[in-house]
Amino acid sequence: MYYSRNVPIRKPKLLLGMFLIIFTTGICLAFNWDNQDFDSSKREVLLRKIGHEVLLQSGDSTSRVLPIKKAKENQYQIRFENALAFQPDSLITITQRLLKQDPLASNYIVNVLNSNDSSVAYAFAISKNAKDNIIACKGRIQPKRAYMINIEFKPTSTTSEGKAYLFAGLPFLAFVGLMYFRSARPRQKLIANLQPNTLTIGATLFDTEKHQLLSNDTITCLTGTEARLLKILALSVNVIVDRARLQKEIWEDEGVIVGRSLDMFISKLRKKLEIDPSLKIVNIRGRGYKISIATSHVTSL
């Protein structure tokens, strides 16, 4: 009697639970497609930033990175307006750092092609397991030519894996669906910071937030003033920065501008940049300073 009396009560609850599971599954699948589109758009932004930093390393702060071309599925081309020279060490560092922000970019092959005949000028492969990386010919400067960077990502089996995880997590999805309708606030997509607080200068990484330099596994700490000064110079590699601008941006807020203060901090920076022999701060008499990246000596990270 007790069991029979409760059957009509449990059936509506069971049907409601099944409905929530099916409905929530549909919602999650829809969000999954949206996230794929979002990840694809984010990847193109990351690829464009790779092109931007490669141009800066070549001393070009004015020419354009052309629109990213999708040659085929999982294969993209970064193209440039003008010819450029590049350092393999810097290209590897920039590519790995930025593509860490792409959750699907754990395995990829980078080919730097000559634009005229599509011959391979330089190439390397990055794997999820670092010991399987294929990197050669570091420390050899590539001459100034018309290049394009072709990056091919290994296809992922996200569809089949996604289905397995989806069905395994249906009870949880039902709960998520219930909470979704109980909440009046829309779900927000978190966009990763596409401009991290790290700059690549030659074969050196500069953490502008922590005020640290990393080169050859050596960390060098900077003072706040040294870090502000280096950041201004690093954002204009091989470009002369006027003394007046440096003094104004660094010391004006303190109310006093002392000409010799700039020279003193430049001297301190030069000593700390000795960890990377390819970097030099050059004094342009009567004008200002610039960071110069030597093409005859590249230090590998």
Q: Residue 269 maps to which CATH number?
A: 1.10.10.10
- Residue 299 domain flag: no
Both 19 and 119 in one domain: the answer is: yes
**Does some domain include residue 274?**
yes
In this predicted structure, what is the pLDDT of residue 128? Answer: 87
Task: Tell me, yes or no, whether 208 and 171 share the same domain.
Answer: no
* Residue 148 maps to a domain: yes
- 138 pLDDT band, cuts 50/70/90, is confident
- Domain carrying residue 233: 198-293
Give pLDDT, residue 269. Answer: 92
For residue 156, which of 36, 273, 298 has the smallest C-alpha distance? 36
Domain shared by 203 and 185, yes or no:
no
Model confidence at 34: pLDDT above 90 = no
Residues 225, 166 share a domain: no
d(CA 21, CA 23): 6
- pLDDT, one tens digit per residue, over 86-126 is 999 999 999 999 999 887 788 999 999 999 998 999 999 99
Q: Domain check: are 215 and 256 in the same one?
A: yes
- Residue after which a domain boundary falls, among 139, 166, 191: 191
The region, left, alpha or beta by phi > 0 then psi within -120 to 50, assigned to residue 241 is beta
CA distance 59 to 172: 52
Asked if the structure places residue 250 within a domain, the reply is yes
Same domain, 127 and 44: yes
Percentage of the chain beyond pLDDT 90 is 35
Mean pLDDT value across the chain: 78
**pLDDT at res. 3:** 39
pLDDT in tens, 169-200: 656 655 655 565 554 344 333 333 334 688 88
- The answer to whether residue 166 scores a pLDDT higher than 90 is no
- 163 shares its domain with 33: yes
Q: What's the sign of the alpha-carbon dihedral 233, 235, 237, 240?
A: negative
- Asked, for residue 3, whether it belongs to a domain, the answer is no
Residues 67 and 144 occupy one common structural domain: yes
114 and 42 in a common domain: yes
Determine if the pTM surpasses 0.75.
Answer: no
205 in the same domain as 180:
no
With beta carbons less than 8 A apart as the criterion, state whether 220 and 275 touch.
yes
Q: Do both 266 and 185 map to the same domain?
A: no
Domain boundary residue, one of 131, 163, 191: 191
Same domain, 32 and 175: yes
Average of pLDDT values for 131-158?
Answer: 86
Q: Does 271 score more than 90 pLDDT? A: yes
Q: How many domains does the chain have?
A: 2
The predicted pLDDT at position 200 comes to 87
Domain-located, residue 5:
no
Res 172: pLDDT: 63
Residue where a domain terminates, one of 168, 191, 214: 191
